Amino acid sequence: MTAPIPADIPDIPAIPGIAASAAATTASVVPADAVVPRVRRPFVAAFRLLIALTAAAGITLDLLLGSPPRVLSYFAIQTALLVTVVFTLSARRAWTARRPLPPSVTACTLLYAVATGLVYHLILANDAITFSMTSDAGAGALTGWHALTNQLLHTVIPVAAALDWLLLTRPGPLRPQDAAVWLVFPVTYVAFALTRGALLPPDAPARYLYPFLDVPQRGYVEVLGNATVLGLACYALAVLLVALDHIRPGPRRRRPPENRISSPATGGLK
């Protein structure tokens, strides 16, 4: 005769290692691509590649027209190098449907490009002495290739980068503290420009690259005041970008084709 089953069966203690392994097997992680399929953006990739090629063309022309060590020392050239790298990577990711670059990277690139254009058109273009990154100051109005590359670096690239950010880039979680971090490059550049000018001989061409940083002409007090004003203006522009990022609408994305293997309404296969 079979013995009766007791009413209260004590719980069996969990065996270390086996329970954790079973829990990990049960809770499987679903890849994001299985929920939201990746979508290639060929138009966006082509536009960003065009921006990168335009920046590279401007840099190349300036290097051929002027002295490479001098040309590479300008903020506009260094910004164009950053634009070339960032937009090339962004174009590749848009073409292959990969995750976009971090929003802070694209936003700071836009900040430097727009700041370059604003400083040129509001300050340098209105100066009595013609500003040039490839020839001596005061040599007359820029013409030919000099004028072309000047407009590419100070007008075309800032406008194109702004259009890409406003129309083709999804809003990212930019934070107010990002604006302060983005100032590291401009502040470092001012220190570099002043140090470079102090180390070069007095008769060196373009000893101080920008007229508002020309220490022999303006003195350190005025130069540092100019740098402070430009720094505050750059910070205000950075804060404006962060604010715009929180209110601007994202670009409309093409919906991927609907999965017709199963339908929630019928529950069967089609």
At 34 the pLDDT is 47
Coil vs helix vs strand at 103: helix
- The H or E element containing residue 16 is none
Kindly state the DSSP code that residue 138 receives in the 8-state scheme. T
At 21 the pLDDT is 52
Give pLDDT tens digits for 16-26. Answer: 555 555 454 44
At 140 the pLDDT is 64
Which parts of the chain register pLDDT below 50? 22, 24-27, 31-34, 262, 267-270
What does the domain layout of the chain look like in residue ranges?
Answer: 39-247
The CA dihedral of 214, 216, 217, 221, to the nearest 10 degrees, is 80
At 251 the pLDDT is 73
At 9 the pLDDT is 55
**CA distances, 184 to each of 110, 178, 187, 190 (Å):** 15, 11, 5, 10
CA-wise closest residue to 100 among 113, 114, 112, 86: 86
At 256 the pLDDT is 52
Instruction: Enter the tokens of residue 267.
Output: 């529950």
Distance CA 10, CA 240 (A): 65
